Amino acid sequence: MNTRVIVTRYGGPQVIEVIEEPLRKPKRGEIRVKVQAAGVALADIMRREGKVPLTPIPPFTPGYDTIGIVDELGEGVQKYLIGDKVAVFFNGTGGYASYVYAMDDEVVGIPAHIDSITAVAVILNYVTAYQMLHRIAKVAEGERILTHGASGGVGTALLELGKLARLEMYGTASLAKHSIVSHFGAMPIDYRNEDFVDILSIQAPEGMDVVFDPIGGRNYERSMKTLSKNGRFIGYGYTSILQEGDSEEWTKEWGRLAEDQTTEKGNPAYLYSITSLKKERLDWFQEDVRFLLSLLEEGQINPLISYRLPLREAAHAQELLENSLSVGKVVLICE
């Protein structure tokens, strides 16, 4: 039997249900994977509330990133064998299940001995952080970066990879999470009680070389004020929508930035989406997963995982993330 989490309608955590269903045979070109670990992301919550443009119509299964073992192969699959360990990356739906079905291009083979729970943090969070730092911003040693949501899954990945790249780092987080930000060698800024624009004008008057902003709305505008003359702005989400709730604003602003590709002052502005870039450059995605897993094997990165919960507790896992009770990654475990 397959245990699968579904969003039954748009709304709060109570709309999440867990169902049991018979397993089916994989279709031609499809791989069936017995899941060991699945990641939870803020975008899962935005989809559950129906606040993301192009949100699927319920019922649907949330989830981007899973690690597991190839359990059965559809006709014509030659790249993988039963028993291979793989990472599966979906475009935002499909991951919260004890078995998943994936096509060839959604799967990357990974070393058998790598810990599945740690590896799942790499697939979405670290690939996102790595691609923004190195594929988009093309950071150079000594550059100054500002990371919003610095204690979250992508935030901590940006800081850990930023430390490896020898960047000068600043990160916004609530006071309770400042030790996490400092741990990676970044200067923490309390976004609830401090104005990051004012603080940075004193701490780094030359401005930021890159700002990474997953918040959107007014935060985008204020982030852009902190840029140096060669600074680049990267927006990679719009979590303010969870508080404010108007997705039309998001669509409008995202559209304008995507078209202009510059801030009002003329700095380059990029909008990053892991799913879009993966569509355009699957080779980059596969290369980056393998490179980051090699860093994991060498002990150069150590993803922060604050909660490991059984798959059936998906609603609780989302609540922890939604209420900012976690740091780093929240992972669902399939026994």
CATH number, domain at 267?
A: 3.40.50.720
Rg (CA), the chain: 20
Beta strand 329-333 with 305-310 is parallel
234 and 169 co-located in one domain: yes
Domain of residue 26 covers 2-122+286-333
Among 198, 260, 201, 194, smallest CA distance to 233 is for 260
Q: How many distinct structural domains can be found in the chain?
A: 2
- Residues near 315 by beta carbon (within 8 Å), at least 6 away in sequence: 13, 14, 16
Residue 89 resides in a domain: yes
165 and 202 co-located in one domain: yes
CATH number of the domain residue 97 falls in = 3.90.180.10
268 and 323 co-located in one domain: no
pLDDT score, position 247? 60
Residue 318 resides in a domain: yes
What pTM was estimated for this model as a whole?
0.96
Residue 328 resides in a domain: yes
Among the residues of 99-167, which ranges form H helices? 116-121, 127-130, 153-164
Residue 16 near residue 8 (C-beta atoms within 8 A): yes
Q: What is the pLDDT along the chain (335 residues), one digit of tens a residue?
A: 999 999 999 999 999 999 999 999 999 999 999 999 999 999 999 999 998 877 899 999 999 999 999 999 999 999 999 999 999 999 999 999 999 999 988 999 999 999 999 999 999 999 999 999 999 999 999 999 999 999 999 999 999 999 999 999 999 999 999 999 999 999 999 999 999 999 999 999 999 999 999 998 889 999 999 999 999 999 998 887 777 655 666 677 777 887 889 998 999 999 999 999 999 999 999 999 999 999 999 999 999 999 999 999 999 999 999 999 999 999 999 97
166 and 245 co-located in one domain: yes
pLDDT score, position 242? 73
Tokens encoding 149: 């949501």
Residue 317 resides in a domain: yes
Residue 129 resides in a domain: no
16 and 49 co-located in one domain: yes
Burial of 137 (0-12, 13-18, 19+ CB in 10 A): buried
Instruction: Give the residue from 242, 272, 302 where a domain finishes.
Output: 272
